[in-house]
Amino acid sequence: MLIHDARKINKPRRKFNIYLFYLNNRKSIKKIFIILIFLLIILFPVFSGTIIGNWIKDFFGTIIHIISQI
């Protein structure tokens, strides 16, 4: 005869646990994310510089293209 264990009923799903972890630690997750971005820029300046430079070039190129179409 099996003993009924109430702890096993309605266990939250894994995605729900991850969501609850995010809700409880939002501020620290944001701080860690910002620190990682700064470390990426500091440790890999050539890589991040090309990414930022290409984004700026594409952004201004799009604006100039839109203005030239008008």
State residue 4 phi and psi, 5-degree precision: -75, 125
Classify 25 as helix, strand or coil: coil
pLDDT band for 12, please (50, 70, 90 cuts).
low
Element (H, E) at 7: none
Task: Give CA–CA dist 25/38, Å, rounded.
Answer: 20
Asked if residue 66 has pLDDT above 80, the reply is yes
For the segment 14-61, what is each residue's pLDDT rounded down to a tens digit? 777 888 888 999 999 999 999 998 888 888 888 778 888 898 999 999
- The predicted pLDDT at position 59 comes to 94
